[in-house]
Amino acid sequence: MLLAVTPDLPPPSGPPQAAPVAEPPSAVTQAVPTPVTPYAVPPAATAGRVNSLAIAALCCGLAAFVPLVGVLAVVFGAVALNQLRSGFQRGRGRAIAGIVLGAVGTVGWAALVVIGIATGGADPARDTAGKLAPAQTVSVQDLKAGDCFDGLPADPNAAVDQVTTAACTTPHQAQIAAVVELAAGSFPGDAKAADLADQACGHAVDPVVRDDAPGLDLSYVYPNDSLTWRLDRHATCILAFTSGKHAGSVLR
């Protein structure tokens, strides 16, 4: 029987070495940030809607040829610009265009009013006795009681503006019977202003018309809008012959 003998090994030199110990896996895993791609928002979604007052300002500016609409364009445009400071809406260009157009229209109308007042203030030419010189083209509202003229429109409902002066001793169409001032106050509207002019002219004309005058129609020119009412509340009372032309005054 053989006996296996292990040879003696020399003792290890130096202090004993500890066996390496494997670290247990960490229970917490650190998250690695993932790059985020910014979400692209379409321009239309961030632009915002157009300010409604900016649109109104532009529309009023385009219609500034109508009296007082230009003022609305300037007001709407100014308010719109103030609202657009927040940056959530669009329409700055529209608001500015409305203000510019409205201002131009307002200045234009103001100039026309000033010119009209300046030209309308000039009285028609008269002789030393105060009689109206004939053949002048004037506004009917520049005539005085007793003045005779031609140029009434064929349509009795048409507006009367420019007429031609005539001597009352020659055949003519019509004569100014009176110029009356309507009641003070704010503009009552076209229909009510016409009623006031009709009543005032009726009271003023009846006492001054000759009893033997031929057939006559009474008409009147009156302020039919708020601007004219503020400038001049007078109504011009007109007596027109119902058949052709006649010579001589119809007033006493």
User: Residue 179: is its pLDDT beyond 80?
Assistant: yes
> For residue 25, what pLDDT is reported?
56
Domain that holds residue 56: 47-120
pLDDT class of 17 with cuts at 50, 70, 90? low
> For residue 45, what pLDDT is reported?
46
| Domain presence at residue 93 | yes
| Domain presence at residue 7 | no
What is the count of structural domains for the chain? 2
The three-state (H, E, C) secondary structure of 39-107, written as one string = CCCCHHHHHCCECHHHHHHHHHHHCCCCCCHHHHHHHHHHHHHHHHHHCCCECHHHHHHHHHHHHHHHH
Nearest alpha-carbon partner for 241 in 204, 222, 202, 213: 213
Both 107 and 164 in one domain: the answer is no
| Domain presence at residue 1 | no
| Domain presence at residue 102 | yes
User: Residue 169: is its pLDDT beyond 60?
Assistant: yes
What average pLDDT does the chain have? 83
Q: Which residue matches tokens 């110990």?
A: 21
> For residue 146, what pLDDT is reported?
96
pLDDT digits (tens, 9 = 90+) for 81-136: 988 888 788 989 999 999 999 899 888 888 877 766 555 556 899 999 889 999 99
Burial class (CB in 10 A: 0-12, 13-18, 19+), 129: exposed
pLDDT class of 31 with cuts at 50, 70, 90? low
In this structure, are residues 182 and 222 in contact, taking their beta carbons and an 8 Å threshold?
A: yes
Nearest alpha-carbon partner for 102 in 62, 146, 44: 62
User: Residue 171: is its pLDDT beyond 60?
Assistant: yes
In this structure, are residues 247 and 170 in contact, taking their beta carbons and an 8 Å threshold?
A: yes
> For residue 159, what pLDDT is reported?
84
> For residue 68, what pLDDT is reported?
82
How large is the average pLDDT for residues 14-31? 56
Tell which of 120, 146, 179 closes a domain.
Answer: 120
Both 186 and 220 in one domain: the answer is yes
> For residue 2, what pLDDT is reported?
45
Tell which of 120, 155, 171 closes a domain.
Answer: 120
| Domain presence at residue 221 | yes
